[in-house]
Amino acid sequence: MTRFNPDFWEVTLASQGWERFSNQDALWHETSDDVEARSARSHSAARLWPEVRALVREILTDRQREVVELTFFEGLNQRQIAERLAISQQAVSEHLYGKARNGRNVGGAIRKLRKACAKRGIRWDNGG
C-alpha cells in the first residue's frame, strides 16, 4: 500500500500543455547576461588556477592539502573523504574550516588560503 505524501505530487500534462511553455520558463534557463557572467568567471578562474594550486602545495600541511584536493579537485564530500583517509568527518571539517578554541576559530585550510590569496592580490570573489 502506498502512503500519501503531500510533499510529492505528480501531475501529467498533455503535449499541448507543454507547448505553452517557452525555454525561458525552464528552471535551468540562462539569459545572455548569465552566460556572459559565467564565461567571465570561468576565464578568471582558469587564469588564477595555477597560482592557487601552487598555494595549496606551498602553505598547507600535507593533510590539509590532501583534504582540499579531495574536496575541490576531486569533488568528494566530507563523508567520502573521511572514509578514504580513515578519519572522522569532524576531522575533515576541521582540516578545511578550522575549529573553535577559546571562543575563536583557529586553523583551517580555507582560512590559510584566503589569507595567502589576499597577500598575493588574488581575489576570492567573482571579480577574479
What does the CA dihedral 110, 102, 93, 114 come to, rounded to 10 degrees?
A: 0
Q: Supply the CATH number for residue 70's domain.
A: 1.10.10
69 is in which domain, residue-wise? 59-121
pTM as predicted = 0.63
Distance, in Å, from the CA atom of 60 to the CA atom of 68, rounded to the nearest integer, reads 9
Distance, in Å, from the CA atom of 83 to the CA atom of 91, rounded to the nearest integer, reads 11
Displacement of CA 127 from its chain's centroid (Å) = 17
| Domain total of the chain | 1
Residue-level pLDDT, tens digit, the chain, 128 residues? 566 666 666 667 777 777 777 666 666 677 889 889 989 888 888 888 888 899 999 999 999 999 999 998 899 999 999 999 999 999 999 999 999 888 888 889 999 999 999 998 887 654 44
- Is residue 117 in some structural domain? yes
